Amino acid sequence: MSFGVVEGDPDAGAEALTVRAISGHPFGELDLTEQRFALADVRLLSPILPSKVVGVGRNYADHAAEHGVPVPKEPMLFLKPSTSVIGPHDIIRLPEQSHQVEHEAELAVVIGATGARRVDRAGAEKAIFGYTIANDVTARDLQKIDGQWTRAKGFDSFCPIGPWIDTAVDVSDAEVRCEVNEEVRQLGRTSQMVFDVPTLVSYVSHVMTLLPGDVILTGTPAGVSPLAAKDVVSVRIQGLGELRNPVAAR
């Protein structure tokens, strides 16, 4: 296992991309090597394994409306365990405890080497290493039964992340799209967030210290729907490529 830098335009398709190996760690000293591989010949893992994944509920007004709940006056936080994280093309496993597992396409924020503790908006922007794609997979029936969200969002494989981290992309008004078996289920824009990214990072940092590599999920637009075994779910965010995962029974 090693880190690399993806070269090429992520919106041009995987066949146009190459991976250049690096020595070192993205949060520390690193050097580009001369080793290059076609992306098709590389197995991508989750680009980060965070100490914690912080989720934000109801951060798109249309998603709150489809569930008949109000938009929160402050960010609504929850946690997903690091054991829920999987990478691109890894299998989302449907737990036997649930009969209604749904996709949630989300922009994910990755915290950089300095971490973040009690930062303001300006400090929040400096603390961000980059952005990637996530699927906040949720057992909707268990979420309704339990009243709190740990079990519904915490199963192994319930947090696909990837395919890579982009440190320079503009995500202020990026399209967020989710397809299941090539049928569009979710379509929104990051500009529709109730609370924007710097607000979220600052808010979370006043609740808990964010460590390097921690991930904040920024909420999902309307259109969430159930997944079934043999489905293939794809999440695309403009400028960040595609996160694709098959679905299977546990």
User: What confidence score (pLDDT) does residue 14 get?
Assistant: 76
Which residues are registered as beta bridge partners of 93?
248
Average pLDDT over residues 42-70: 96
Show the domain range for 31: 1-42
| Shared-domain flag, residues 133 and 92 | yes
| Shared-domain flag, residues 35 and 48 | no
**Contact assessment for residue 46 and residue 162, using Cβ atoms and an 8 Å cutoff:** yes
| Shared-domain flag, residues 15 and 56 | no
Confidence tier at 51 by pLDDT (50, 70, 90): very high
| Shared-domain flag, residues 9 and 89 | no
**Contact assessment for residue 8 and residue 18, using Cβ atoms and an 8 Å cutoff:** yes
User: What confidence score (pLDDT) does residue 114 get?
Assistant: 95
| Shared-domain flag, residues 101 and 192 | yes
| Torsion from C-alpha of 228, 232, 235, 236, nearest 10 degrees | -150
- Domains identified in the chain, total number: 2
| Shared-domain flag, residues 55 and 32 | no
Distance CA 174, CA 108 (A): 12
| Shared-domain flag, residues 23 and 105 | no
Distance CA 144, CA 146 (A): 6
User: What confidence score (pLDDT) does residue 250 get?
Assistant: 87
Kindly report the pTM of this predicted structure. Answer: 0.96
User: What confidence score (pLDDT) does residue 29 get?
Assistant: 81
Average pLDDT over residues 32-58: 96
How many CB atoms neighbour CB 79 within 10 A? 15
Which residues are registered as beta bridge partners of 22?
32
Q: Which residue do the tokens 């909420």 mark? A: 219
pLDDT in tens, 176-206: 999 999 999 999 999 999 999 999 999 999 9
| Shared-domain flag, residues 5 and 113 | no
| Shared-domain flag, residues 127 and 236 | yes
User: What confidence score (pLDDT) does residue 164 get?
Assistant: 97
Q: With residue 135 as reference, give the H or E element that holds it.
A: strand 128-135
3-state DSSP of 156-194: CCCEEEEEEEECCCCCCCCEEEEEECCEEEEEEEHHHEC
| Shared-domain flag, residues 67 and 19 | no
Residue 174: pLDDT over 90: yes
Confidence tier at 159 by pLDDT (50, 70, 90): very high
pLDDT in tens, 85-103: 999 999 999 999 999 999 9
Number of H helices, E strands in the chain: 5, 17
Report the CATH number at residue 184: 3.90.850.10
| Shared-domain flag, residues 14 and 92 | no
Distance CA 213, CA 203 (A): 17
pLDDT in tens, 205-218: 999 999 999 999 99
Pairing, β 215-217 against β 53-57: parallel
| Shared-domain flag, residues 100 and 151 | yes
